[in-house]
Amino acid sequence: MKKKKLPKIFVLDTNVILHDFRAIHNFQENDIVIPIAVIEELDKFKKGNDTLNYNAREFVREMDKITDNKLFDTGVSIGKGKGVIKIELGHPFSDLMAESFFEDTQDHRILSTTEWLQEKNPERIVVLVTKDINLRMKAKALHLMADDYLTDKITEERVENIMKEVITLTDVPEEILQRLFFQADGVPVNELKLKGVPANQLYILTGNKKDNRILARYHSISKTLIAVKKQKCYGIEPRNEEQTFAIDALMNPDIKLISLTGTAGTGKTLLALAAAVAQERIFDQILLSRPVIPLKNQEMGFLPGDIKEKLGPYMIPLYDNLAVIKRAFKNTSREVVRIEEMLKNEKLLISPLAYIRGRSLSNTFFIIDEAQNLTPHEVKTIITRAGEGTKLVFTGDIHQIDSPYLDIHSNGLTHLGEKLYGQELFCHINLTKGERSELSEMAGKLL
């Protein structure tokens, strides 16, 4: 008779809970252990308005719903078809741990609990789940199983699909190219034998002549390809085909949500800001924001000055992009004066993301820069704040992440591009060609 397979035991690190407070519901029939050291660390996060603080509080509320005396003993059932959850008190370091790790830290206490559980349950698989790479390495050094929290991770193949969203069609008949260029209502996709095309799919169509290239976007309602033509935005003109696609989406009132990805210098933030200013009469306010990721884990309070002075260094890149737009005109021009007026009246507001959360945004052009440093939950929270008439633009480089527990597969910007791909209200453009300068592009490619 085949021996029944025992459920695994997953030990959760603090960062998993701070990343997803409902993580305990994502381990099927397996059991979950929360070391008491994790509860101690969560206590430090219970006050504050950031997502980490919210997740800490919500997890404690989740635990409060199922708390009884068994939580520290045999464990409590998480729900039907799920395993049990237990809070495990601390245990002394083993000889191996004492010899290897000299400091008594919370991370080492979590390792000690994992090691103790493995010794007490030799017939079961015990896995430490943490988003901390260093802690995973330490666990493996102790011959313990450790893994990342994979529930909200996008696979490598799907990430590559996000990076290759523009499709090139070759040998398109000249007659179709001519109609596509001159007909405002476009060309039906069935004439090109295209099937199952997702909404706002981007195309580059070429004929027999190499220099004859037409850019197009699929319009899902009319089931046609619509030509995408160059247009200037408040003095900023697209310098390549990807930027042409980006400005088309940014200026399209039917597309309410846009993600622009690409390396530094590809023009993501500049194009979004130029399009916003060009449409300022349509919107009540233009918001430009970014998450504040302090360097070397220093909190904002350590910086000198009042709140504006503390946040100033983090907002400089956004003001730099605004300066580029202003340089496209003379200093005394009406366009420059209008930008100064918008800044003064706060119709154009540059602010850290923490000060935007909690607001209901109606009739607003909202640009979220450096969105690769946001979690999927944070991106969802921002989008659900969008009221009637609001347009959201997320920009960032998914290869340049400053948040310690996010990567190319788990950040909010990657999730946005993958989960909403093919929706009528959404368009994703990946910018690959650097336009900041020859020097910048060379460094991006070779260094």
DSSP letters of 291-325? ----GGG--GGGSSSSHHHHHHHHHHHHHHHHHHH
Same domain (yes/no): 183, 128: no
Q: Please state whether the predicted TM-score (pTM) of the whole model is above 0.85.
A: no
Range of the domain at 99: 9-147
Q: Note whether residue 236 is domain-resident.
A: no
pLDDT tens sequence for the chain (447 residues): 344 688 999 999 999 999 888 899 999 999 999 999 999 999 998 887 677 888 899 998 888 877 667 888 888 888 888 999 999 999 999 988 888 888 899 999 999 999 999 999 999 999 999 999 999 999 999 999 999 998 877 766 666 666 667 889 998 999 999 999 999 899 999 999 898 899 999 999 998 876 788 999 999 999 999 999 999 999 899 999 999 999 999 999 999 999 999 988 889 999 999 999 999 999 999 998 888 654 334 444 444 555 555 556 666 777 888 888 888 888 878 988 999 999 899 899 887 777 676 678 899 999 999 999 998 888 988 998 888 999 999 999 998 888 877 888 889 999 998 889 889 999 999 998 776 666 766 666 676
Same domain (yes/no): 161, 260: no
Same domain (yes/no): 160, 90: no
The Cα–Cα gap between 251 and 228 comes to 11
Same domain (yes/no): 420, 349: yes
Same domain (yes/no): 48, 131: yes
Beta strand extents in 337-425 (DSSP E only): 348-352, 364-368, 391-396
What pLDDT sits at residue 302?
A: 46
What pLDDT sits at residue 300?
A: 45
Give the tokens for residue 12. Answer: 């959760």
Final residue belonging to a domain, choices 120, 147, 174: 147
Final residue belonging to a domain, choices 147, 182, 205: 147
The Cα–Cα gap between 425 and 34 comes to 41
Q: Note whether residue 241 is domain-resident.
A: no
Same domain (yes/no): 299, 384: yes
Same domain (yes/no): 115, 166: no
Q: Note whether residue 268 is domain-resident.
A: yes
What pLDDT sits at residue 259?
A: 95
The Cα–Cα gap between 324 and 305 comes to 28
Q: Note whether residue 18 is domain-resident.
A: yes
Q: Note whether residue 45 is domain-resident.
A: yes
Residues 6+ apart with CB under 8 A from 315: 290, 350, 351, 352
Same domain (yes/no): 314, 428: yes
How many H helices and E strands in the chain?
Answer: 15, 17
Burial class (CB in 10 A: 0-12, 13-18, 19+), 325: buried
Q: Note whether residue 140 is domain-resident.
A: yes
- Cβ contact 131:1 at 8 Å: no
Q: Note whether residue 1 is domain-resident.
A: no
Final residue belonging to a domain, choices 147, 169, 192: 147
The Cα–Cα gap between 226 and 203 comes to 10
Sign of torsion over alpha carbons 45, 377, 380, 61: negative
Secondary structure element (H or E) that encloses residue 179, with its range: helix 174-182
What pLDDT sits at residue 301?
A: 47
The Cα–Cα gap between 428 and 419 comes to 11
Q: How many domains does the chain have?
A: 3
The Cα–Cα gap between 147 and 137 comes to 10
Residue 173: C-alpha distances to residues 43, 179, 406 (Å): 66, 10, 46
The Cα–Cα gap between 77 and 359 comes to 37
What pLDDT sits at residue 405?
A: 78
Same domain (yes/no): 136, 260: no
Provide the CATH number for the domain around residue 334: 3.40.50.300
What b/e string do you get for 412-446 counting C-beta neighbours within 10 Å, with b at 16 or more?
Answer: bbbbbbbbbbebeebbbbbbebbbbeeeebeebee
What pLDDT sits at residue 432?
A: 85
Same domain (yes/no): 298, 361: yes
What pLDDT sits at residue 312?
A: 60
Cβ neighbours around 356 below 10 Å, total: 17
What pLDDT sits at residue 67?
A: 67
- Which runs of consecutive H residues, i.e. helices, occur in 279-425? 307-327, 334-344, 376-383, 412-419
Same domain (yes/no): 70, 91: yes
- Cβ contact 399:175 at 8 Å: no
Same domain (yes/no): 216, 294: no
Q: Note whether residue 258 is domain-resident.
A: yes
The Cα–Cα gap between 280 and 338 comes to 10
Give the tokens for residue 188. Answer: 């039906």
